[in-house]
Amino acid sequence: MLSIDWNVMSRQRILFTLLTIFVGLLLSSSAVMWLIQGLFPALTQREWHCFSVLFGSVAGTIAAYWGVHRYERLNRLLESEVEVRRQAEEKAEEAWHYAQGLIDSSIDFIISVDTQRRIVEFNKPAQKAFGYLPEEIIGKHVEHLYADPQECQTIQNMLQQDGSYRGEVLNRRKNGETFPSFLSASFLTDKEGRVTGYMGISRDISKRKKLELELLKAATIDRLTGVYNRHKFEELIAAEIERSRRYNNPLSLMMFDLDHFKKVNDTYGHQIGDEVLREVATLIQGHIRANDLFCRWGGEEFMLLAPETRIEAARDLA
């Protein structure tokens, strides 16, 4: 915002005007008095005194008139300049409020920092997401907003290297909760091209990450039993067979189903049948190793892949 001390400027100009009047009056009086002494050398002291008083009155009147005229002209000029500056300040303030409104109306977090990475701008969506009021976070180091301060330094290094950064980051709220966001950051420069700070625009992607996890789970996990589904198991078994061949390690594959399971469904209903499948899956998971791969192959059929297991050990496990 513009700020000018008009009182100081007015006093300076008025003092300069009065000094100009005084100097001009002094010089002109001396010159006129010197000229009169040259023209009328025979004047008596009394005549000379009367003449000096008369001349002083006339000169003072002229100087006062000129001074008032000069002051009024200067005052009008100052009033005109003040009005121009006032209008400029009003326009600048309107532009600032308009820009601030655009920033606050964004659905994204807009955060700017100076070259020391101290927060300068923190818009309303950022306040809502992180839980900080402006007075609580403005001036603080931006690493307060990251779950891992080292990630903040990594982004800084990439900005200095590439001039921009785009990627996912893990943020921390005021209450300690963490959440993922997608950040786009770049330099801020002045009109000479000097770096004055950094601007970051980010968006909370918690819902997107949760949906991705749910989709991944749906693509790999059997919804009823919570073990691997057939599609994922086929991927895993291909990789384990390749590893077994490469390192010449034993590998055992077991398949089993539930006898007379159709009678369970027909007699007690599919809800009870589903409960039986869940209990079987839980029971098997409690008796296998962490590196064993267990899946529901389909219906009441299950498969178990036991890496680095010979047929004798697999028979005992079965």
Higher local confidence (pLDDT), 160 or 183: 183
**Sign of the C-alpha dihedral, residues 280, 286, 287, 292?**
positive
- pLDDT tens per residue across span 171-184: 999 999 999 999 99
Distance from C-alpha of 284 to C-alpha of 297, rounded to nearest angstrom: 14
Higher local confidence (pLDDT), 140 or 38: 140
Least confident of 73-87, 201-215, 229-243: 73-87
Cβ proximity of 233 and 293 under 8 Å? yes
Q: Is the pLDDT at 68 greater than 70, yes or no? A: no
Higher local confidence (pLDDT), 33 or 224: 224
Distance from C-alpha of 279 to C-alpha of 275, rounded to nearest angstrom: 6
Cβ proximity of 154 and 183 under 8 Å? no
pLDDT of residue 4: 43
Q: Which residues contact 66 (CB under 8 A, 6 or more apart)?
A: 21
How much is the pTM?
A: 0.56
Q: Is the pLDDT at 36 greater than 90, yes or no? A: no
Q: How far apart are the first and last CA of the chain?
A: 80
Q: Which of 237, 256, 222 is nearest to 307 (CA)?
A: 237
pLDDT of residue 3: 45
pLDDT of residue 46: 61
Share of the chain above pLDDT 70, in %: 72
Residue 293's pLDDT band (cuts 50, 70, 90): very high
Q: Which of 153, 146, 156 is nearest to 195 (CA)?
A: 156
Cβ proximity of 111 and 152 under 8 Å? no
